[in-house]
Amino acid sequence: MSHLAPLILVLPLLGFLLVVLNGRSLSNRTVGLIATSVVGLSFVTTVVTFVLLLHDRTREVTVNLFTWISVDTLHVPAAILVDPLSITMSLFVTGISALIHLYSTAYMQGEKDFRKFFLYLNLFVFSMLTLVLANNLVLTFVGWEGVGVCSYWLVSFYFDREAAASAGKKAFIYNRVGDVGLLLAMFLLFVHTHTLTYLGIFSSTSLLSPTIATLVVLALLLAATGKSAQIPLFNWLPDAMEGPTPVSALIHAATMVTAGVYLLVRMSPVLALSSSGRMTIAVIGGLTAFVAATIATAQKDIKKVLAFSTVSQIGYMVLAVGVGAYGAAIFLMVSHAFFKALLFLGSGSVIHSLGGEQDMRKMGGLAKWLPLTFPTFLVGWLSISGVPPFSGFWAKGDVLTNVFAHNKPLWALGVLTAVLTAYYMSRLFVLTFRGSERFREVTHQHDPHESPLAMTAPLLILAALSVFGGLLDLPWAHGFSLTRFLSPTFGVVAATGAQSTMLQTGLALVDVVAALIGLFAAFTIWRHTVESSTFERPFFEHVWRWDDAYDAVLARPLERLAHVSNDVVENRIIDGAVEGLGGSVQRSGEGIRKLQAGFVRQYALAMVLGLTVIVVYLVGRVR
Amino acid sequence: MTVPASWYLVLAAILFGIGAFGVLTRRSALIMFMCIELMLNAVNLTFVTFARTMSDIGGQTTVFFIMVVAAAEVTVGLGIVVAVFRRRASTSVDELSELQG
Amino acid sequence: MFATAYAIPDVLVFAGAALLIITGALGVIVMKNPVHSALSLILALLGVAVAFLAQNADFLAAVEIIVYAGAIVVLFLFVIMFLGVDKSNHPYVEPLVGQRWLAALGVLVTMSGIITLMASSHWVSGVLSSSTGGVALATGAGNVTQLGDSVFTTYLLSFEATSGLLIIAVVGAVLLARRERPADSDVDVDVDIDVDIDGTGRVGGGEVSEGEWWVVNERTSEEVES
């Protein structure tokens, strides 16, 4: 085991290095093969590690690689922590990454920067695994920044498009704001506990006063809102859809954006110290889930809808974290990774078949043309909508049951969001696969074609996972379940599902009803309509004017300040000082220059006169 | 009783002053060199005088080395004068004023 | 007045030496003709030699006459003769405004200041060389042995260093005074063969490259000189 765990990390890095060092001499095919197989092997390694962990009684293994930083009391090892939480994350990260790598070999075929794409993708997987497997906050931060920068490169992958370039910058800057939170949390924790390893922090939580704990939790929340696209830093994620669709599926739906949730869950012993901090987290999560869902109802771009649905689903996860249902959060994270990756890859397949069209108004009736994409997408749709027995139903039900136990208003908001979720996903489904065929103009009267096997195979696997993902954590399962498996990590906090069976069944019925309401509403409205100003509110379409608000509150005053700085401070004061100094030096130089007449006898005279001054001074002193 | 050292020192100072004045006022590089020799000799004279007053041979040894250095200096200096004269057909140092500011 | 305090021969020797030195030195700086300046320099150096003799520096007095008055002044004269007497540097014309007066002022003030200092305080300090391995100055006539001892024992390294200095100076002087010649002897031969037959200024049959053109020019200017 101690020899295997580092391999999970090393394999993607190896792939990255292989491609980086030999990129020009390898064919696209070889690059795709290398990149996909290293991630696949990494997945296999993770599975083996997982099985070994099951046989480990402590369920907690630290693999020390080397000492990274050792200054005074600051000791940061480069070490891997394998425990139920990190191995669960690693399993679905490597698994889904492998599938998406495979998908990309077909999707990115013919792209100019094919190799670069896989280079970034491998580096991303490495960074993500570093984030997940690190045993201390500093190493996690390295992975955190690593996924951030890979995300930036991949969002701006089509950097010759203005929109893609600026979307990349937007994502990067929003993430930086969140990173400040993580740094602050690290500083606070180090000052008070003198350690940054997770286990070290958890064993010295008694050193944290309630105020400090709340501050740490809020800082961590800020970090999570940046990376996981929550209010107030959520609107970089929809713009990130400018990247290639596999990137959207892998980074901006399944893995990276869940990093914030992972961080919060990872720090659960610290969260346990601050009830007000947890309350804030729950409110932020619930609000984000609702706001993003409303926005998703009015989007016309198929990927934008999915992007906001991602924001909304992560909101659910954060909500679950806020009420202390860490197991439920991870459960939803895993099943969300399955069905959201499925939906994104399915939408990628649709876009691929229409030659790059993303506007849902120009789709419709695609069901019969895409015989593999359609049924798999159907599964994803039903799953995210919360229709039993698909995994989304179980996961969302788990979350909502836990929320109900802690906070009724947030539960109501969650159920409302569930209605909206079912509604906007059904709208997307209807507009894309049902109704009249509106794509002829886009495809130039050609028939859409189904995607190649390398793209449909991942779809099939993910569809199967979406169907059966619920088995991971059935409410009545007493043998193996995800919550039980994770319980060593969360300790005593994970006291979930304390309600009676009766109540649980009732809540599940409410969920089903909510999903069905959304479904029927969407079918009724969108069966024969493509556009509707009544149901596509401009306020929602424009993301609650969120960008405008940032513009008015932050961007414009800053811009004005910059102008003032430029006109007054830079041009007048700084330039004036610099040029004045330079000018005076030049002028005095021109004066002094005349002393250098070039006559050696004058120089000698100057020496003699200098000597004279010295001698006169000495005579005066002796007297 | 012999002549006191201070007389010789005053004499050396006068010799040095004349040499220095010559360096400052004569334009011919050759004459300037001769004046520098005068100044060197003034210094030599003080050394020898001090060697006598202090009963120490060190002063005379120093003079010996000064003479060697002076000989080397004249050799190179006159070489330079010859080289310069070949280019400019003049030994005036005032004409060598290219390095002005 | 002097006679009462000091031995008359010593005073006479000093007076003679001073007369020689000051006359010679003034001669160096006022003579129009460099040859006369050089001869005046010999006069001054002779005076210094006398002063050396009067202060028990026999060997140095001999060296003063042989090396300075003999070798160095002869070298000066040689160079003066070699370059031709340059009359353009008239000593009584001063192109630099104020140079002469400022020089006189600076020199006079400095010298009188130094003499004042000398009269009013002790300004020789430090450790005698005789206390650190040097040789004490013997009284009476003849100290060549002592000087030799000192130079070849205590100051041996410095003495060897001066030999290096002299060699370098000689090499440097030779290098400086050498007439510039074309470095490539092949080209030299080539130029000797090429004759300007048709009077067009172009020599040889073919085109003359840039490098060779320079050599040709150099050669012709030399021929013109001779």
| Cβ-nearest to C28 among B35, B50, B64 | B35
List chain C residues with CB under 8 Å of B43. Answer: none
Residue A219: which pLDDT band, with cuts at 50, 70 and 90? very high
A550 token code pair: 């940032």
Check: CATH 1.20.120.1200 for C7-88?
yes
Are the beta carbons of C114 and A602 separated by less than 8 Å? Answer: no
Residue of C nearest to A617 (CA): C113
Q: What is the mean pLDDT of each run of 10 residues along chain C (226 residues)?
A: 66 92 93 91 94 89 90 91 75 81 92 86 62 58 78 90 92 84 50 46 46 43 44
Are the beta carbons of B96 and A593 separated by less than 8 Å? Answer: no
Residue of C nearest to B4 (CA): C6
Over the Cα atoms of chain A, what is R_g?
30
Is the pLDDT assigned to residue B97 strictly greater than 60?
Answer: yes
List chain C residues with CB under 8 Å of B73. Answer: 169
- Residue listed under structure tokens 């690689």: A65
Average the pLDDT over A337-354 and give the result: 90
User: b/e string for A336-353 if b means 16 or more Cβ within 10 A?
Assistant: bbbbbbbbbbbbbbbbbb
| Cβ-nearest to C21 among B15, B78, B90 | B15
| Cβ-nearest to A599 among B23, B25, B94 | B94
Are the beta carbons of A601 and B101 separated by less than 8 Å? Answer: no
Question: Whole-prediction pTM value?
Answer: 0.65
Between C211 and A270, the higher pLDDT residue:
A270
Residue A600: which pLDDT band, with cuts at 50, 70 and 90? confident
Any idea what DSSP says for residue A534? Answer: T
Beta bridge partners of A77: A67
User: What amino acid is encoded at A227 in this protein?
Assistant: K
Distances (CA, A) of A495 to A328, A363, C164: 11, 47, 95
Domain spans of chain B? 5-90
Q: Which CATH architecture has domain B5-90?
A: Orthogonal Bundle (1.10)
Residue of C nearest to A613 (CA): C110
List chain C residues with CB under 8 Å of A623. Answer: 120
* 3-state SS track over C93-112: CCCCCCHHHHHHHHHHHHHH
C48 token code pair: 């210094």
| Cβ-nearest to A600 among B20, B96, B101 | B96
Distances (CA, A) of B21 to A544, B95, C103, C184: 93, 20, 6, 48
User: b/e string for A174-200 if b means 16 or more Cβ within 10 A?
Assistant: bbeebbebbebbbebbbebbebbbbeb
Gap between the Cα atoms of A540 and A413, Å rounded: 17
Any idea what DSSP says for residue C209? Answer: P
Residue of A nearest to C123 (CA): A622
| Residues near C112 by beta carbon (within 8 Å), at least 6 away in sequence | none
Are the beta carbons of B24 and A601 separated by less than 8 Å? Answer: yes
Average the pLDDT over A569-582 and give the result: 89
> What is the reported pLDDT for A58?
79
Q: Which chains touch A (3+ CB pairs under 8 A)? A: B, C
Residue of B nearest to A595 (CA): B101
Question: Omega into A232 within 30° of 0, i.e. cis?
Answer: yes
> What is the reported pLDDT for C97?
83
Q: In this predicted model, what pLDDT tens digit does every residue of A11-67 receive, in sequence order?
A: 999 999 988 888 678 888 888 899 999 999 999 999 999 888 888 777 888 888 888
List chain B residues with CB under 8 Å of A608. Answer: 20, 24
Is the pLDDT assigned to residue A382 strictly greater than 80?
Answer: yes
Residue A613: which pLDDT band, with cuts at 50, 70 and 90? very high
> What is the reported pLDDT for C48?
95
Are the beta carbons of A602 and C103 separated by less than 8 Å? Answer: no
Q: What is the mean pLDDT of chain A?
A: 87
User: What amino acid is encoded at C22 in this protein?
Assistant: I
Distances (CA, A) of B24 to A533, A609, B90, B96, C34: 100, 11, 18, 15, 16
| Cβ-nearest to A619 among C102, C103, C116 | C116
> What is the reported pLDDT for A120?
92
What is the dihedral sign for C-alpha A351, A355, A357, A363?
negative
Among A218, A250, A282, A308, residue whose Cα is nearest residue A35 = A250
List chain A residues with CB under 8 Å of B25. Answer: 601
> What is the reported pLDDT for A542?
81
Mutate to test the interface with B, among C176, C178, C181, C221 (most CBs of B within 10 A): C176
> What is the reported pLDDT for C92?
75
Between B16 and A369, the higher pLDDT residue:
B16
Is the pLDDT assigned to residue A1 strictly greater than 90?
Answer: no
A502 token code pair: 């009766």
C226 token code pair: 């001779």
Residue of C nearest to A599 (CA): C96
Gap between the Cα atoms of C11 and B82, Å rounded: 43
Assess contact for C196 and C202: CB atoms under 8 A.
yes
Q: In this predicted model, what pLDDT tens digit does every residue of A452-489 receive, in sequence order?
A: 888 889 999 999 988 888 888 776 655 567 777 887 77
> What is the reported pLDDT for C140?
53
> What is the reported pLDDT for B48?
92
Gap between the Cα atoms of C180 and C182, Å rounded: 7
List chain C residues with CB under 8 Å of A605. Answer: 99, 102-103, 106
* Shortest alpha-carbon distance between residue B33 and chain C (Å): 9
| Cβ-nearest to B3 among C14, C37, C80 | C14
Any idea what DSSP says for residue B28? Answer: B
Distances (CA, A) of A106 to A458, C157, C199: 11, 85, 83
Between A337 and A472, the higher pLDDT residue:
A337
List chain A residues with CB under 8 Å of C114. Answer: 615
In this predicted complex, what is the ipTM? Answer: 0.92
User: Which has the minimum average pLDDT: A142-151, A531-540, A604-613, C72-81?
Assistant: A531-540
